[in-house]
Structure 1
């Protein structure tokens, strides 16, 4: 009698059995499929898998490959964990997809995995052009996964913990120089910004040193024009989202700043107040024009329909702006570096600059801006006004 099947995969007929394992952090169901030549065999695979998950004792561990278990660990454990941020999971997923999924390591049985196999793989990808830094990141994530495999009994030692395992190449310890805009470049940018939709965003970045995500998360409730200050209490993050089939998309969310010290109050140079008021007027006109299609999130910086601005669009618009101004391309973060550098040049105390930048450690501020550390210190945030006159 012919065996009953219910699906076709790679040209063959199988019986597919689907189980629900739980829900993601967003409440979506997590499902896993089991394929076999008959319903009975599919049920057997399902039961063995669930026993492995529920008891912690691996079933038939000798046939479990590194790639298979890493996929399980990544999507069914790390993804639903509240111990890592979505951005961290996205980095893990990228490493798995780019370095493990289609590599020779994927098909290695965990019970047979040795340090030399990992070493040869690292050597090969280094010779193909991967940097030591990328391989070090891969090793860090692979080591974390193999610690899980060790705890679950799939291996009796972690081959990534071996002192004999070497990251090929030299350590890239070269410190990147801090780029800033010169006085003349600031003047060119300001002239080009007149009546540009980015004017308020960029001048506020230059006058407050806020990170791009902090600027895009600002609400009008965060700005006090009378006291000439703004409050940083959140940041905009482009966050990965995976559907039931683990297909990735992105959404925008407001999250707390990167550290407690990033929650801060920053003075606004008085010459920027008219710029902010003009921006508010423009935004109200856009809201009126959009009518019912406007989404009111009370954001200081938003699209013409009130929604979050995609940071990638800011990057592209910023590059076009610099081209028009005849200024060499620099990252948006350069405005923050320029702000900090101008504070040092104005002899603002290091501790004050640390607080204004939202750095968690004063050593971090000193290390980044060693090249402009002043010998004398005075307090005068309003000296930044000369940038906007």
Structure 2
């Protein structure tokens, strides 16, 4: 068929095989020759829609006209235009960190998108693994992020196929998660009482609720319901945000939604923890009076002596010292969450209940993480059949 054109469409025509083709002028190359961008679709309206969308993105600076763009330039463009306003600040920081460590000025970062192949990535990943530069787990995460950026490149018609989809990684041996033994947990609590550790209640709270560190540090007294003996988890506190892609020129505190939608939850508190928390609130009130002039009352449950919120690394230093005082080897703060979940499972709490309390998005996630606890539960369950045999 011949060319058919509508108002503002550019040129659209139907080939003999029935496919509709559209084309628009996007400027001139270095030799002055007109450059055209083509689109295809099963119907005229589909092509027209693609063309109008492209023109709109072009006008808003969301389209790169350089067909020879390399991965590192595309990745930054993707972050700045497709991700920076759609994900949490912490996620952007993580993506940008991966970019600096594994893409910027690296062999894969300098390769043009239209020359990018799966084999190129495979060789690069193999090199990183062989040289023990990073872990397989981290490389898989990196590959997922690069894959997401290239998925958008395909939608923007810079690529035809995503080279990240057929990468081969070595199998990861699953290690059992580390938790406090019963003896270590008792030893830790005893040491906190004896030393009068300022963060004693915070550590007990972590072991008694299983909240993530950022969730604990974000809590305000308005989130605590003493009557119902429960805590509302609706946000997470992060300290950071400064990077070349954000509008934040220095690190600051950022209150954001928790890790996932399922992380927004209400978590019951043991009676002993409620009693501990009430006593701690009285001590905090005394601290306010003592530091009246400098105290910044932001309503945080756990705060510094002057009322300011606590940075994660600040807490980590004190936590490490608390473990040393108790004579317990150092493990990350997240072990308190794992210990909480493992204790519940040991006491035959239904796995679905544990999932809900932890705020996991799926039961599969919970069962995979705490698989080390389940064998004993299976044995105990079968023993219940003794009176039936």
What TM-score, normalized by structure 2, do the two folds share?
A: 0.72
Please give the alpha-carbon distance, in whole angstroms, between the structure 1 residues aligned to 2:67 and 2:373.
Answer: 58
Describe the SS at the equivalent of 1:293. coil
* 2:154 alignment partner in structure 1: 150
Please give the alpha-carbon distance, in whole angstroms, between the structure 1 residues aligned to 2:121 and 2:229.
Answer: 57
Please give the alpha-carbon distance, in whole angstroms, between the structure 1 residues aligned to 2:349 and 2:127.
Answer: 50
* 1:236 alignment partner in structure 2: 237
CA contact (8 A) 2:206 2:337 kept: yes
CA contact (8 A) 2:212 2:334 kept: yes
Whether 2:192 is the aligned partner of 1:186: answer: no
Please give the alpha-carbon distance, in whole angstroms, between the structure 1 residues aligned to 2:242 and 2:248.
Answer: 8
CA contact (8 A) 1:236 1:253 kept: yes
Please give the alpha-carbon distance, in whole angstroms, between the structure 2 residues aligned to 1:289 and 1:331.
Answer: 33
Please give the alpha-carbon distance, in whole angstroms, between the structure 2 residues aligned to 1:59 and 1:234.
Answer: 40
Change (3 A) 1:66 1:357: closer
Please give the alpha-carbon distance, in whole angstroms, between the structure 1 residues aligned to 2:290 and 2:219.
Answer: 22
Shift of 1:310: 0.6
Q: Aligned to 1:68, which of 59, 73, 76?
A: 73
Describe the SS at the equivalent of 1:61. coil
CA contact (8 A) 1:135 1:167 kept: no
Please give the alpha-carbon distance, in whole angstroms, between the structure 2 residues aligned to 1:265 and 1:85.
Answer: 22
Please give the alpha-carbon distance, in whole angstroms, between the structure 2 residues aligned to 1:225 and 1:60.
Answer: 60
- CA offsets, 1:241-291, max 9 Å, x none? 446887874332223333444333333222234422332122122222322
Q: Aligned to 1:139, which of 140, 143, 154?
A: 143
* 1:320 alignment partner in structure 2: 321
Where does 1:164-183 land on structure 2 (aligned, <5 Å)? 166-167=167-168, 170-172=170-172, 174-183=173-182
Describe the SS at the equivalent of 2:308. coil
Shift of 1:321: 0.8
- CA offsets, 1:148-190, max 9 Å, x none? 33333434444334x4xx435x121x22313222232122212
Q: Aligned to 2:83, which of 75, 78, 99?
A: 78
* 1:59 alignment partner in structure 2: 65
Shift of 1:369: 2.9
Where does 1:269-280 land on structure 2 (aligned, <5 Å)? 269-280=270-281
Shift of 1:318: 0.9
| Segment of structure 1 superposing worse, 148-157 or 283-292 | 148-157
- CA offsets, 1:83-107, max 9 Å, x none? x332332222112111111212333
Describe the SS at the equivalent of 1:92. helix
* 1:128 alignment partner in structure 2: 131
* 1:309 alignment partner in structure 2: 310
Change (3 A) 1:114 1:355: closer
Change (3 A) 1:253 1:101: same
Shift of 1:346: 2.8
What TM-score, normalized by structure 1, do the two folds share?
A: 0.72
Change (3 A) 1:343 1:160: closer
CA contact (8 A) 2:71 2:111 kept: yes
The RMSD of aligned alpha carbons is 3.1
* 1:47 alignment partner in structure 2: none
Please give the alpha-carbon distance, in whole angstroms, between the structure 2 residues aligned to 1:66 and 1:351.
Answer: 43
Change (3 A) 1:262 1:140: closer
Please give the alpha-carbon distance, in whole angstroms, between the structure 2 residues aligned to 1:60 and 1:264.
Answer: 47
Q: Tell me how many residue pairs correspond in the alignment.
A: 321
> Structure 2: which 5+ residue stretches go unaligned?
1-29, 31-54, 383-389
> Structure 1: which 5+ residue stretches go unaligned?
1-40, 42-49, 378-389
Please give the alpha-carbon distance, in whole angstroms, between the structure 2 residues aligned to 1:340 and 1:245.
Answer: 36
Please give the alpha-carbon distance, in whole angstroms, between the structure 2 residues aligned to 1:331 and 1:363.
Answer: 24
Please give the alpha-carbon distance, in whole angstroms, between the structure 2 residues aligned to 1:96 and 1:250.
Answer: 20
Please give the alpha-carbon distance, in whole angstroms, between the structure 1 residues aligned to 2:163 and 2:361.
Answer: 35
CA contact (8 A) 1:232 1:262 kept: yes
Describe the SS at the equivalent of 1:291. coil
CA contact (8 A) 1:219 1:298 kept: yes
